[in-house]
Amino acid sequence: MSNYVFVLDDGRRPLSPTSPARARQLLRDGKAAVFRRYPFTIILKRKVPDAKPAPVEVKIDPGSKTTGLALVQGGKVIWGGELTHRGHQIRERLQTRRERRRGRRNKLRYRKPRYMTKAQRNNADRKRGKGWLAPSLMHRVETIVTWTNKFRRYAPVGSISMELVRFDMQQMQNPEVSGVEYHQGELAGLEVKEYLLAKWDRKCAYCAAENRPLEVEHIQPRSRGGSNRVSNLTLACTKCNQKKGNRPVEEFLSGKTDLLARIMKQAKAPLRDAASVNSTRWYLFNALKKTGLPVTVGTGGRTKFNRKRLGWPKAHWLDAAAVGSVDTLTLRTDNPLLIEAKGHGGRQKGVFDKHGQPRRNKEGNVQIRPLKPIHGWRSGDIAKARGLMGRISPRTTGSFEIRAAGQKPRSFPAREFEAVHRNDGYGYQ
């Protein structure tokens, strides 16, 4: 089952998404044309009088590396997607830029440091504003909002549901905290278990066993003074858990100093991905509220509970569909669109060596990269040529390289290429 197809009327107003079979019939009969390749959208060639499409709910499961997206209409999951972020690339490129600038300054004449007094820092223009987020984190918020706005252009979106709290840190650190209703019922313990599964990579901490039931295990047994804090919890298979019993971890792992050191270090280490999600959750919530649509929220424990109750496997887009209050949902698709943030290319014109210095050619002039577009094309455009379809790399010579899936890159003249999907900063599968 494929994703439903987005439908626009002749005035580019969104209608209810339709099944792939119905979309093929409309295209075959000449009643519609392809409007956009990704996400696949068709536009009708006639007016639809008094069209009142059923509202669609956008469901979002924010993640540090991958965000799950799903569209639900009338109790049916009609569209799914997984959006891979590029926050790590942004962080690495900013680090590289910082190192190059520092290296160049060291080779210049002395310049007085730009240190400032406390009073100067309070009034400085370079001061970071309140609520500042690192570019690698802000990228996640802006990318999710971008795709939410895409859905609003291509579907009759009526509401948004997102997972606001991935892990309830306060409740996990102090289970005696009261006033949180879901910890008194069926969801008790799910927040802690989900956190530990993510922190310990879904493996037994002692034997690294995978794909088997794992139990929450106290590193220092409670009978020996251990606590219920997450820093004292890990995951163990049934065999290791029973073998350890109530012995201290130092006694159980005597003779395995490397394993003991790794477990103790990992137990105290924070979950970086969870921290990044928690730091951006309110930014994302407030950004979605600005759309004017009603926004409902849910927790990670509730999402996992809904997914297991519905019998769905673990997947980002299925987690998104299970966000919030869910009674009954039917899957009308099992083939999500895989989206990867690629960016629009760098603004850097010069070519630099490993030392951060401009690389020069034989004539002594700095090599400057050609400005975009090149012959009307940009890097990353999807095109067809001689039966091949893939992303292209335009060249000033007029011979473009195309990279089709499963084949070696090939070069053809620019005149033989036919545009399929212009680069919008994302890659699709």
Mean per-residue pLDDT, 376-388: 86
Mean pLDDT of the chain: 82
**Residue 181's pLDDT band (cuts 50, 70, 90):** very low
pLDDT band at 343 (very low <50, low <70, confident <90, very high): confident
Of 5-9, 77-81, 261-265, which gets the smallest average pLDDT? 261-265
Indicate the DSSP class of residue 350. B
Closest to 162 (Cα-Cα) out of 173, 148, 181: 148
Residue 49 CA from chain centroid, whole number: 39
Structure tokens at 224: 């020996």
Please give the Cα distance from 98 to 265 (Å, whole number). Answer: 30
3-state secondary structure of 27: helix
Percent of the chain topping pLDDT 90: 31
Percent of the chain with pLDDT strictly greater than 70: 81
Q: What is the pLDDT of residue 396?
A: 82
Contact 373, 119 (CB under 8 A): no
Judge whether residue 176 has pLDDT over 70. Answer: no
CA distance 12 to 55: 17
Specify the pTM: 0.74
Q: Mean per-residue pLDDT for 319-323? A: 93
Which spans in 215-256 are helix H? 238-244, 249-252
The two tokens of residue 354 are 């490993």
Structure tokens at 89: 């690339």
Nearest to 337 by CA among 71, 20, 82, 23: 82
Distance (Å, whole) CA 20 – CA 403:
27
The per-residue pLDDT for 42 is 95
